[in-house]
Amino acid sequence: MLQFITLLSLALALVRGLAIPGLKPRSDGAPAPLQLDFNVSKSIGGTSAKEFWAHHNAVTKRDAYREVAVDYHDTAYHVDVYLGSNQQKATVVLDTGSSDLWVPSDGYNPSTSSSSADTGQQFSIEYLDGSSSTGEFYTDTVKFETPNPVIPSLQFARAGKSGGFGVLGIADRNQEAASTQYDNLPWALQKAGLIPKASYSLFLGPDEGSGSLIFGGIDTDKFSGDLVKYNIPSGAGSLSVNLQSATFNGNTIAVNSPIVLDSGTSLGLLNSALMKELDAIFSTTIVNEGGIQYRYTSCNQPSDQYLQFNFGGNSISIAYSDAIIGQGSSCLLGFGWYNDIEIFGDVFLRSAYVYYDLTDQTISLAQAAYSDSSNIVAY
């Protein structure tokens, strides 16, 4: 059953800025960009991406950041994180729609790590089915894949529920599930001197393979054309940009409203005017479930025709063939409708190269380029 869920930041965490061993400076003395490669796959350790998202669709009791997302992830973007003095391996899924790092209980055992410290803080998650899970916060060493440096004391949440995977939320501090703001991972890296600004670029890559998250830098071989900077709209409660218009089949429709960029969402949401145009292009069959409109369409779509989304300084194009998601022998259109809420999920983000600058409150966009080469520079 397809269903939309509310995706919130999932735990309260506090990140303390510390000196980080293993940091390699650039030739000018500034920190070099920190690259985290992640896997793009249909499953993680034998669990399908869809099953993962069904397991982890939870809401906090505190309604800090409300957004509608789709429980139809056929692709997951995941990275391994190593916690504690004994480097306990946990798999976490990358999410630009939440701001907190947390792992399930079997992903981290504090009693086996000599560097673990219990903060005494509790954390609670309430699931959509009415069940709940409590947990605790610890500080401990955190490391990503070699050769990335060790973060000596990072606070993260250990959920009481076991099984499944955690979440690496990298959105801004105003999306934290906390009563007061704190320095989450991007801000903690900046505070520690690892990166000059709380910023990162995101390249999701194709359906399966690998993508790249680069703190404090960009990969110029992973996009084409200009990387154009846009201000995050004033008062926005999420990482969003203003979408001026969309051009479908030669017809341009004005939008002029903020749209959220969220890697933790599979399908996108568009307003009724845009969906009407897409219905005509893709000859969709509309299915209503719980007030949500999904679109089924033919899986046979051309790769030389495009949906174009215009932001003012540049546009991002999505091939018709990339605008659908397979479901067995049938396919879903990668965009749906719910109360005219507007979100760009992975269907859009796979065609875009995005640089998030939390310090300057800007987002830069370019057309993604699937290239085997890499040229990482500070930005």
Omega within 30 of 0 (cis) for the link into 152: no
Instruction: Give the per-residue pLDDT at 62.
Output: 29
By the 8 A CB rule, do 257 and 243 touch?
A: yes
Q: How far is CA 210 from CA 78, 206, 350, 353, in A?
A: 9, 8, 12, 14
Residue 236: which pLDDT band, with cuts at 50, 70 and 90? Answer: confident
Would strands 343-344 and 251-261 be described as parallel, antiparallel, or unpaired? parallel
Note the helical H segments in the chain: 49-56, 185-191, 272-282, 346-349
Measure the CA–CA gap between 181 and 176, rounded to whole angstroms.
7
Answer left, alpha or beta for residue 248, where phi above 0 means left and psi between -120 and 50 means alpha: beta
- Write the CB contacts of 328 (distance below 8 Å, at least 6 apart in sequence): none
Residue 323: which pLDDT band, with cuts at 50, 70 and 90? Answer: very high
Instruction: Check if 95 is active-site.
Output: yes
Q: What percent of the chain has pLDDT over 70?
A: 76
Residue labelled with tokens 């000859």: 283
Which pLDDT tens digit goes with each residue over 198-220?
A: 999 999 877 655 688 999 999 99
All domains of the chain in start order, with CATH: 4-219 (2.40.70.10), 221-378 (2.40.70.10)
Determine the residue type at 303.
S
Instruction: Give the per-residue pLDDT at 204.
Output: 87
Q: Give the residue with greater pLDDT, 218 vs 237.
A: 218
Which pLDDT tens digit goes with each residue over 32-74?
A: 899 887 776 544 455 444 444 444 444 432 232 233 333 344 4
Let me know if 39 is exposed, middle or buried by CB neighbors in 10 A (0-12, 13-18, 19+): middle
Residue 31: which pLDDT band, with cuts at 50, 70 and 90? Answer: confident
Measure the CA–CA gap between 266 and 278, rounded to whole angstroms.
18
Instruction: Give the per-residue pLDDT at 88.
Output: 97
By the 8 A CB rule, do 151 and 145 touch?
A: no
- Write the CB contacts of 84 (distance below 8 Å, at least 6 apart in sequence): 108, 110, 112, 113, 115, 116, 140, 141
Q: Give the residue with greater pLDDT, 275 vs 180.
A: 275
Eight-class DSSP state of 290? T
Over residues 307-332, the mean pLDDT reads 92
∠ CA 118-119-122, rounded to 5°: 100
Give the global pTM: 0.82
Measure the CA–CA gap between 75 and 44, rounded to whole angstroms.
10
Which pLDDT tens digit goes with each residue over 341-364?
A: 899 988 999 999 999 999 999 999
Instruction: Give the per-residue pLDDT at 11.
Output: 28
Which helix H or strand E contains 167, and what residues bound it?
A: strand 166-169
Residue 75: which pLDDT band, with cuts at 50, 70 and 90? Answer: low
Determine the residue type at 147.
P
By the 8 A CB rule, do 353 and 201 touch?
A: yes
Measure the CA–CA gap between 347 and 159, rounded to whole angstroms.
30
Q: How far is CA 314 from CA 198, 231, 241, 354, in A?
A: 24, 14, 12, 13
Instruction: Check if 262 is active-site.
Output: yes
* Out of 138-147, 224-233, 312-321, least confident range: 138-147
Closest to 264 in 3D by CA, of 57, 90, 24 = 57
With b meaning 16 or more CB within 10 Å and e meaning fewer, what string describes 49-78?
A: bbebbbebbbbbeeebbebbbbbbbbbbbb
Over residues 122-137, the mean pLDDT reads 59
Which of these is catalytic: 172, 262, 322, 357? 262
Closest to 320 in 3D by CA, of 329, 337, 333 = 333
Q: Residue 112 above 80 pLDDT? A: yes
Q: Residue 172 above 80 pLDDT? A: yes
Q: What percent of the chain has pLDDT over 90?
A: 44
Question: What 3-state DSSP class applies to 222?
Answer: helix
Measure the CA–CA gap between 367 and 288, rounded to whole angstroms.
33
Over residues 141-149, the mean pLDDT reads 80
Which of these is catalytic: 71, 95, 219, 322? 95
Q: Residue 369 above 70 pLDDT? A: yes
Instruction: Give the per-residue pLDDT at 239.
Output: 93
Closest to 163 in 3D by CA, of 52, 39, 5 = 52
Question: Which range scores top for mean pLDDT: 18-32, 52-66, 78-92, 298-312?
Answer: 298-312
Would strands 268-269 and 335-336 be described as parallel, antiparallel, or unpaired? parallel
Over residues 116-142, the mean pLDDT reads 70
